């Protein structure tokens, strides 16, 4: 129940164990086509270039940026946690100038601030925002920014590593031009692939580059030929992970996107009520808190690492610690995909109560579980 990876369904584990085939085998090529359709559904897009990149979510981030950003470009980046910071780093490595819109970790970048930055920098190549900031639990609104960018030359690049299949995400309706995710969060597949989708607007920018993409491995002008009609060899695809992703996406389709979103919302609300009954507030901005990643304030006098070690040793339960300025100040409790269950919520509340009461923290016995159960029963 940390910030990822999440638990994996037995069907996905079984898919990993299937015999290998060649990455140009006709059966594998058919599977690739199925994955593209399933990903389009999950991203809520009709984008032709919708594929899994070989690599984790950070590979997806880098693929989007290195294919669309060139030396001398200006890129507006929202920075309210680790992953906005990482985008700034990659933009700089592309030889471009990152215009960082920074705010306190745990809060969102207010959309009007992004729109104002666009007014001040009308020649910005792109705006980059993290939809679900895994390091803080903050849920960034995207619709207003997408509407402001529609019809302009500025690209909208979105990090959906933690949000895809766990919260509403409408790539086409929100005018998102490049979006990337990871398999190990709400898709509940082992880490190793990064789904990405590029709009026609983004493809035109990519094909109109004046310089070569700095990464040969992530150059989508070549990779798209493998996923397109040509099926041209670029690199050996991770066959077993592709089997696993296909099965994970089938599970998403079977559950239904809206039902899956509602499950994440309901379980988040139950956990939040349980934590509140134990006087453990969510640290992220009120009204902008993620359903799948809950950043919980650590009480004064309680040792972060000691509690997490106790949970792992005594309950085989993993939760995450804070990063950056939140290190030692928050726990990050994941409710992602297969890990988002009522049983897990009751388990983590029971375990936290036990360890905190043993260390002198005053919380009423059973209060957290009772509060969460009340929400789940409703």
Q: Are 185 and 337 in contact (CB under 8 A)?
A: yes
Cα–Cα distance measured from residue 85 to residue 134, given in angstroms and rounded to the nearest whole number: 12
Q: How many CA atoms lie within 13 Å of 262's alpha carbon, on the beta-carbon side?
A: 6
Report which DSSP code applies to 80: S
pLDDT in tens, 235-264: 999 999 999 999 999 999 999 999 999 999
The helix/strand/coil state of 155 is strand
The helix/strand/coil state of 27 is helix
Please give the CATH architecture assigned to the domain spanning 257-377. Alpha-Beta Complex (3.90)
> Domain locations in the chain?
10-255, 257-377
Cα–Cα separations (whole angstroms), residue 337 to 6, 57, 326, 341: 7, 16, 25, 9
Q: Are 90 and 120 in contact (CB under 8 A)?
A: no
Q: Provide the pLDDT for residue 135.
A: 97
Q: Are 62 and 215 in contact (CB under 8 A)?
A: yes
Cα–Cα separations (whole angstroms), residue 22 to 13, 103, 218, 227, 239: 20, 48, 21, 15, 8
Nearest 5°: phi and psi at 132?
-130, 100
Q: How many CB atoms lie within 10 A of CB 44?
A: 17
Residues contacting 371, CB < 8 A, separation 6+: 273, 274, 276, 277
* DSSP characters over 241-252: HHHHHHHHHHHH
CATH number of 10-255, picked from 3.40.50.10440, 3.90.70.10, 3.30.2130.10, 3.40.640.10: 3.40.640.10
Q: Are 67 and 212 in contact (CB under 8 A)?
A: no
Using alpha carbons, select from 136, 151, 160 the residue that is nearest to residue 324. Answer: 136
Do the domains 10-255 and 257-377 sit in the same CATH topology, yes or no? no
Cα–Cα distance measured from residue 302 to residue 68, given in angstroms and rounded to the nearest whole number: 45
3-state SS of 136-153? Answer: CCEECCCHHHHHHHCCCC
Using alpha carbons, select from 234, 178, 185 the residue that is nearest to residue 66. Answer: 178
The helix/strand/coil state of 316 is coil
Residue 331, beta-bridge partner list: 296, 321
User: Cα torsion for 300, 270, 83, 135, to the nearest 10°?
Assistant: 20
* DSSP characters over 97-127: EEEEEE--TTS---HHHHHHHHHH-TT-SEE
**Tens digit of pLDDT per residue, the chain (378 long)?**
999 999 999 999 999 999 999 999 999 999 999 999 999 999 999 999 999 999 999 999 999 999 999 999 999 999 999 999 999 999 999 999 999 999 999 999 999 999 999 999 999 999 999 999 999 999 999 999 999 999 999 999 999 999 999 999 999 999 999 999 999 999 999 999 999 999 999 999 999 999 999 999 999 999 999 999 899 999 999 999 999 999 999 999 999 999 999 999 999 999 999 999 999 999 999 999 999 999 999 999 999 999 999 999 999 999 999 999 999 999 999 999 999 999 999 999 999 999 999 999 998 899 999 999 999 998
Q: Are 125 and 154 in contact (CB under 8 A)?
A: yes
pLDDT in tens, 165-189: 999 999 999 999 999 999 999 999 9
Cα–Cα distance measured from residue 247 to residue 34, given in angstroms and rounded to the nearest whole number: 10
* Torsion sign over Cα 296, 258, 263, 337: negative
């Amino acid at each position: 129940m940390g910030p990822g990876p999440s638990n994996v369904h037995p069907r996905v584990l079984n898919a990993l164990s299937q015999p290998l085939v060649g990455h140009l085998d006709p059966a594998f090529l058919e599977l690739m086509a199925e994955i593209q359709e399933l990903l389009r559904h999950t991203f809520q897009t009709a984008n032709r270039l919708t594929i899994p990149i070989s690599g984790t979510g950070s590979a997806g981030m880098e693929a989007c940026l290195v294919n669309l950003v060139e030396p001398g470009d200006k890129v507006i980046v929202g920075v309210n946690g680790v992953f906005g910071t990482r985008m700034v780093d990659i933009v700089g490595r592309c030889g471009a100038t990152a215009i960082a819109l920074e705010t306190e970790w745990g809060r969102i970048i207010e959309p009007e601030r992004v729109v104002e930055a666009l007014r001040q920098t009308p020649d910005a190549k792109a705006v980059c925002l993290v939809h679900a900031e895994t390091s803080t639990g903050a849920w960034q609104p995207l619709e207003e920014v997408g509407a402001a960018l529609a019809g302009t030359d500025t690209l909208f690049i979105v990090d959906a590593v933690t949000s895809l299949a766990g919260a509403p995400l409408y790539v086409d309706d929100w005018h998102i031009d490049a979006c990337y995710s990871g398999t190990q969060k709400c898709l509940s597949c082992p880490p190793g692939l990064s789904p990405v989708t590029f709009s026609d607007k983004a493809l035109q920018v990519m094909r109109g580059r004046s310089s070569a993409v700095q990464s040969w491995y992530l150059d989508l002008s070549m990779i798209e030929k493998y996923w397109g009609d040509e099926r041209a060899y670029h690199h050996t695809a991770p066959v077993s992970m592709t089997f696993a992703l296909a099965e994970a996406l089938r599970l998403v389709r079977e559950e239904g996107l809206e039902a899956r979103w509602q499950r994440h919302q309901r379980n988040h609300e139950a956990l939040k009520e349980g934590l509140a009954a134990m006087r453990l507030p969510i640290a992220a901005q009120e009204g902008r808190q993620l359903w799948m990643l809950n950043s919980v304030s650590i009480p004064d006098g309680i040792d972060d690492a000691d509690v997490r070690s106790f949970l792992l040793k005594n309950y085989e339960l993993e939760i995450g610690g804070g990063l950056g300025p939140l290190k030692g100040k928050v726990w990050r409790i994941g409710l992602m995909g297969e890990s988002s269950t009522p049983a897990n919520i009751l388990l983590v509340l029971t375990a936290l109560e036990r360890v905190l009461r043993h260390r002198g923290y005053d919380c009423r016995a059973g209060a957290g579980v009772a509060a969460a159960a009340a929400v789940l029963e409703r």
